[in-house]
Amino acid sequence: MKLQKLLDELKPYGARLCAVSKKQPTEKILDLYEQGQRIFGENRPQELRDKQPLLPADIEWHLIGHLQSNKIKYVTGKTKLIHSVDSFKLLREIDKRATRLGIVQDCLLQVHIAQEESKFGFNESEIEQMLNDLAFAKLEHIRLCGLMGMATYTDDKGQIRREFAGLRQMLERLQRGFFSGQAHFRELSMGMSGDYRIALDEGSTLVRIGSLLFSEAEFA
C-alpha cells in the first residue's frame, strides 16, 4: 500500500500529507479516502468546485495552485487552507469574501524560492512590507498559517535543499518577528513527488504529493 508507505515516511517528521488529486477521477480519490486519507489538494479552483460535491463532506480540501480574484468564491469557505496566496490584493479579496460569509479563511503565503521566472510568489521584503502595512492589519477574516514554496525543477539536490532551507529560515524569522507568540503560524508547505524527502529533511510540515501517490508504479 503506497499511501501507508508514504505516511510511514512522514511520521518521524510529524509532517502531514496533502494528496494532490488534480486531474484524478473521483473513484481514485475515493480509493485513497477509503484508505483513510482526508486532506486533498487541487490546483484549479473550478476543478475543486466541480469535484467537491461528488465526494465525502469530511474531506479537508486545500487549494495549492494559482488563484485569480474572480475564482475566490469557489474556494473561500470551501477549503481548509489556501496555500497559494501570492499578492496582497488577493489576500484582501479573500478577506472580503470571508467577511461576507462570516468565517475566517486560513491561508499560506506562497514564496518564490525557485530560480525559474515563471513561478508565482512573494519575496521576503514584499512579505515584510505587506505585514507592516496598515491595510493588512484591517484584514480580520483571514489567518496566515505559514509559507508555501516550490523548488526549482532540477536534478541538483543541493540547490533544492538550499531553496527549502531558505524557506524554513524565512518562516523562522517571521515567527520570531511579526508572528511572535502566534502558534498557528507554523506551516511549511514544501515538497512534491520528486523532492519531498529533501523537504522533510528541511522542516516541511505539509508535503503536496500527486503523481507518486496516484501513479500505478511502486516507489523505492
Ligand X SMILES: *Cc1c(COP(=O)(O)O)cnc(C)c1O
Residues that bind ligand X (CB under 6 A): 20, 22, 43, 64-65, 192-194, 208-212
Q: What is the crossing angle of helices 157-176 and 124-131, to 10°?
A: 20
Query: Whole-number minimum distance, CB 44 to ligand X, in Å?
Result: 9
Separation CA 37–CA 197 (nearest Å)? 20
Query: Whole-number minimum distance, CB 215 to ligand X, in Å?
Result: 9
Length of the chain: 220
With CB atoms as reference, the residue minimizing the distance to ligand X is 210
Q: In which residue are the cell numbers 498559517 written?
A: 145
Query: Whole-number minimum distance, CB 140 to ligand X, in Å?
Result: 28
Query: Whole-number minimum distance, CB 8 to ligand X, in Å?
Result: 18
Nearer to ligand X, 22 or 92 (CB): 22
E-assigned strand segments in 86-205: 105-111, 142-149, 187-189
Query: Whole-number minimum distance, CB 167 to ligand X, in Å?
Result: 14
**For residue 69, what is its C-alpha cell?**
480574484
| Beta carbons of 19 and 40 less than 8 angstroms apart | yes
Nearer to ligand X, 139 or 145 (CB): 145
Closest CA to 61 of 34, 48, 79: 79
Nearer to ligand X, 10 or 64 (CB): 64
| Beta carbons of 157 and 163 less than 8 angstroms apart | no
Nearer to ligand X, 139 or 171 (CB): 171
| Beta carbons of 162 and 201 less than 8 angstroms apart | no
Nearer to ligand X, 139 or 199 (CB): 199
**For residue 12, what is its C-alpha cell?**
518521524
